[in-house]
Amino acid sequence: MPRSGPVVMAWNVFKFCTALRAFGSLMILLVLGIVGVSYYAVVVANYGPALGAGGIDSLLALAVLILFHVLLGLLLWSYFSVVFTDPGSVPPNWKPTIDEEIGENAPLTNLDFSNHILNLQQGHIAETGNPTIRYCRKCNQLKPPRCHHCSVCGRCVLKMDHHCVWVVNCVGALNYKFFLLFLFYTFLETTLVTLSLFPHFIAFFKDVEIPGTPGTLATTFLTFVLNLAFALSVLGFLIMHVSLVAKNTTTIEAYEKKTTPRWKYDLGRKKNFEQVFGADKRYWFIPLYSEEDLRRMPALQGLEYPTKPDLDAQ
């Protein structure tokens, strides 16, 4: 009986996430609506007209508008890359080529392997220790390393980090970089909007006449408050995910390995960063990967990940 409260809460949260998935298009429209309001306040209402003022004001307005549009383009590019990129699905009839625990060739066709899979299907998993072969009874298939089942999407996702209602998609191996860039450019854009509208926001509290219609002034005030709130909240998420990338872990794995002293996928900050962003520096700040990185780095495909023992063996 004492556990009924948390169980009910977890169930309600699950239903809430499922409902948000059903109204996914509305979440996209909400994001575009916030972008539209910000665009109107910065470009149409304030800095667009200031271009014709002449002098320093015109140069400042031009600089703000150029930076605003560049960041907005990168933000939307990253956002829709997360929305429309599959985070990674388990290929049909996938089987592991090596034993995840000891790094030796796994006898995938012998009787022991077949019996082990049958036990996993029937739920006969030992209560102690991690099985060398992971199996999803919901999807009825084997699970690659670092793969988790998403209850909202109803499928297994490669290197799943979390299900994000804002992008109406799971964040996993194939779109995690795009999600991080979305956070990064959202923080920069909202910070720019906040700073550029700050003088106009301060004017509301001064005993001076402010040019503009009541609707324009209200939009400017609302845009400043919204962007300040988003800048602060996104900064927290960005800091959290930067720390996860530095340790080569995900949100789910960080929760699961609280009692694990060492993490076998932690290869050092440089290699951990490349596991997400690739090795080609030209592609670090855009939601794309070079063909060479995709060919040379299996981790970017979400099925195989180097570990510390692998590096020691090289």
- From 111, 77, 291, 102, select the one nearest 185 (Cα to Cα): 77
Rg (CA), the chain: 24
Residue 98 DSSP one-character state: B
* Residue 88 CB contacts under 8 Å (≥ 6 apart), including other chains: 157, 158, 159, 172, 173, 174, 175, 301, 302
Q: Which residues are catalytic?
A: 164
Angle 156-157-161 from CA coordinates, rounded to 5° = 130
Number of other residues whose CB lies within 10 A of the CB of residue 36? 11
Give dist(CA 202, CA 221) in Å, integer. Answer: 10
What DSSP string runs through 102-153?
T-SB--TTSHHHHHHHHHHHHT---SSS--SSEEETTTTEEE-TT-EEETTT
